[in-house]
Structure 1
Amino acid sequence: MNDDARTNIGTPAPTPGGPGSAELRDQVERTRDELGQTVEALAAKADIKAQAKEKKAAVVGQAAEKAALVSEQIREKTGYAVQLMKAKTPDPLLEKAGQAATAARANRTPLLVAGAVLVVFLLVRRGRGRRR
């Protein structure tokens, strides 16, 4: 009994160049390809890190889409609220607000310093209140 006969138990060993040997080689090649694909699929299912990365990428993508949608909704609602406030606010008050905004832009540095001083004052006061 030769080695080929032992590996193909139940099937006669083909003679090289005999009838059916090309078909048998094709069948063996197809079986190898199918087995390789099956092994790759099983390896992919067993690769937990890769699955976690794919899931993370999907979740990040969904979160980015959701954030963009919410951001757009907020912009729309803010624009609507601004239009509504402008429509309901008397003109003299709008003029005063415009003047105040212009003055604030012109004096940005003193306003920032005053704001920083106020924040420091409030933090110190809050810290002293906790010590008691």
Structure 2
Amino acid sequence: MLVVESFLSREPAMRLDNDIHNFYEHLVLNAIREQGLDSRLTLDQLADLCCLTLNHLPAHYIRHDVDMIYFLTDEQRRETTSKVQDALAIAHEKVLHSNPSRIRDASAVTSPPLPSRRWEAK
């Protein structure tokens, strides 16, 4: 755990592991829930899916989600949602093709075909 100390008092001012996070983390988790992927993939696949999706999105660390959301315009919100959906689709395809036998219930996978896009460094 990384703790930032107050300069004068040497007391912990904040815990970075609790106070700072990537803005996209909650958006990715919400998108996974909305698509029902949390009930169709194993825990290992979900962890891989989150990592792959977040690695395809820009790093944007914040302290409070409310601060970030407040400053986004409607257009920026739409763009952010679109980025998350695109990154999630690419990651989902990659996870499924890495080991399709690890799907909890193969008959439950009825999601529409995902766009075939290659991972590109941005």
TM-score under structure 1 length normalisation: 0.28
Structure whose alpha-carbon radius of gyration is higher: 1
**Which protein has the bigger strand share?**
2
**Which protein has the bigger helix share?**
1
TM-score under structure 2 length normalisation: 0.29
